[in-house]
Amino acid sequence: MTTKETAIRAIEDLPEDSSWEEILERIRFISSVQQGLAELDAGKGVPDEDIKKEISEWRELQCHMSERASELGIKTEDDVDRLIHEFRTNSR
């Protein structure tokens, strides 16, 4: 299927009352997916093991941040705002 045919089909699959923004969003999404697939085909992808390692590091960081937030008594966004205010006040 050509790029033009893919675009036409994508537009035809949208609801009749779709806005220009929704149409553009769908076209951009399909374009990005196709570009990513082409990069994978060209061997430009990130190996699974690298992704797994990165996700593991994110989880570890998230766990550490949650523990630290608990130590500081942070439970809500208001708590974060309060601590930021206190930090700024005490830094002057």
DSSP string, 32-73: HHHHHHHHHHTT-SPPHHHHHHHHHHHHHHHHHHHHHHHHTT
Write the CB contacts of 80 (distance below 8 Å, at least 6 apart in sequence): 74
Here the tokens at position 43 are 């061997």
Q: pLDDT value at position 3?
A: 94
pTM: 0.53
Q: 7, 30 in Cβ contact below 8 A?
A: yes
Low-confidence ranges of the chain (pLDDT < 50): none
